A = this chain, B = another copy of it.
Amino acid sequence: MRLTAKGEYGVRAMTILALDFRTGPVPLREIAMRENISYQFLEQIVLPLRRAGLINSVRGAKGGYALARPPEQIKVGEIVRVLEGPIAPVGCVADGNEESCARSPACLTRGIWEKLRDRMEQVLDEITLADVICVPNIKDE
């Protein structure tokens, strides 16, 4: 039930971009330094985020990356979905449910995973990058 490093690093990188949202594009090298992440690995993470329209890039010297929308309008769930695929504890209840199993009509356990999936999505979609950089202690409930 773990995120991969890709998802974790991605959220951390996006948090940096949220912090520096007003100060122009941030070069990847700098994010890698500040978050202690391999630069080349970070390249791979940032690519799908850009393609998904969550960030914009500026090429050339003085270039870098910046959030495509203000931090209040980017949910953590969006970032995670781009980097990890649909949020779901088992494949058969994933969003684009290609692999819906033949068992599903009679499957007693399906309900568990649907419920868990819904709660996971709920949490990740109610937290925006603004929440992450703003209120460090959002205590549960």
Contacts and interface: CB of A to CB of B under 8 A. Distances in A.
A137 interface: yes
Give the bracket for the number of chain A residues in contact with chain B.
35 or more
B89 A1 contact: yes
A91 B2 contact: yes
Contact of A11 (B109, B118, B123): B109
What's the number of copies of this chain in the assembled complex?
2
Interface stretch (A24-32, A43-51, A58-66, A80-88): A80-88
Contacts of A122: 119
A111 interface: yes
Contacts of A72: none
A108 interface: yes
A66 B132 CA distance: 46
